């Protein structure tokens, strides 16, 4: 029954999952990574769900995207390398134990296991929303203030981003990641570490039937495959 389904609030109340999220964030702090705790997974959970809601996907699918966002980084509690694949394997028995139907579990573990740009692919609408939400969490609140290092490009780029937003235009089928950077870093710095992530967001948006736009300080800096094809057709007709 609908009322008995596992919700994102149920998942947030899980002591086991909370312990994994805390451990993952703590281990990444030790090895010098930006924040991956409740603030990050909360942002990803809300944003992934919101993307699908605004594109009018079924409510249950939006809920699954919220759950996937909350648990997507638990594999970091084991190792940063292949943490998506590790996390998916860890989550399968835990979500079944909570009473989630196996068909929903495989949707979530598939999304989690494919959210890394190094080895992931867009495999579902939940997967696509998770990818865009995760890769768009670039902001100065991710920088661990006690360990800020301006020589570290990840710290420098994130600290330079004062504002960011994921905007969905369901009519024009555009998903836009807009951010504002100050002069403590640069667009070149941003693209050095985010290029492959933004390319993955393009693929994710395309899976959802949308175009992905990356806008930095008011300027659109990407040109999608769809745009190139459209321009090519116009040239052929000329």
Task: Give the model's pLDDT for residue 1.
Answer: 33
Say what the pTM is. Answer: 0.91
Strand partners, 91: none
Whether residue 93 has pLDDT greater than 50: yes
> Percentage of residues in the chain with pLDDT exceeding 70?
92
What Cα–Cα distance (Å) separates residue 197 from each residue in 108, 135, 185? Answer: 20, 6, 18
Whether residue 236 has pLDDT greater than 60: no
Average pLDDT over residues 14-38: 95
Average pLDDT over residues 43-51: 98
Task: Give the model's pLDDT for residue 226.
Answer: 57
Task: Give the model's pLDDT for residue 145.
Answer: 72
Task: Give the model's pLDDT for residue 231.
Answer: 52
> Percentage of residues in the chain with pLDDT exceeding 90?
85
Residues 6+ apart with CB under 8 A from 48: 65, 66, 68, 69, 126, 129, 130, 132, 133, 134
The SS3 of residue 216 is strand
CATH of the domain at 92: 1.10.3210
Confidence of residue 38 (pLDDT cuts 50, 70, 90): very high
Average pLDDT score over the chain: 92
Whether residue 223 has pLDDT greater than 80: no
CA neighbor of 105 nearest in space, from 115, 96, 117, 114? 96
CA gap 161, 73 in Å, rounded = 22
The count of domains in the chain is: 1
Average pLDDT over residues 148-168: 92
Whether residue 2 has pLDDT greater than 70: no
Confidence of residue 144 (pLDDT cuts 50, 70, 90): confident
Domain ranges, residue 207 = 2-237
Confidence of residue 147 (pLDDT cuts 50, 70, 90): confident
Average pLDDT over residues 61-68: 98
Confidence of residue 143 (pLDDT cuts 50, 70, 90): very high
| CB-based burial label for 102 (10 Å; 0-12, 13-18, 19+) | exposed
Average pLDDT over residues 134-141: 95
Whether residue 119 has pLDDT greater than 60: yes
């Amino acid at each position: 029954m609908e009322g008995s389904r596992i919700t994102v609030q149920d998942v947030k109340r899980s002591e086991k999952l909370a312990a994994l999220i805390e451990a993952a964030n703590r281990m990444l702090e030790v090895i010098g990574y930006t924040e991956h705790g409740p603030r990050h997974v909360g942002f990803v959970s809300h944003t992934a769900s919101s993307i699908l809601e605004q594109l009018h996907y079924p409510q249950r699918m939006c809920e699954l995207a919220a759950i996937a966002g909350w648990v997507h980084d638990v594999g970091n509690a084991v190792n940063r390398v292949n943490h998506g694949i590790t996390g998916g394997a860890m989550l399968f028995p835990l979500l079944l134990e909570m009473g989630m139907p196996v068909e929903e579990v495989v949707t979530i573990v598939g999304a989690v296991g494919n959210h890394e740009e190094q080895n992931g692919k867009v495999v579902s609408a939940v997967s696509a929303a998770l990818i865009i939400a995760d890769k768009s969490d670039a902001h100065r609140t991710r920088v661990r203030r006690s360990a800020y290092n301006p020589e570290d490009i990840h710290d420098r780029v994130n600290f330079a981003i004062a504002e960011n937003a994921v905007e969905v235009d369901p009519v024009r089928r555009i998903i836009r990641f807009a951010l504002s950077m100050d002069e403590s870093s640069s667009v070149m710095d941003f693209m050095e570490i985010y290029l492959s992530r933004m390319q993955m967001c393009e693929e994710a948006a395309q899976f959802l039937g949308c175009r992905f736009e990356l806008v930095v300080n008011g300027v659109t800096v990407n040109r999608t495959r769809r745009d190139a094809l459209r321009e090519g057709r116009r040239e052929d007709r000329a």
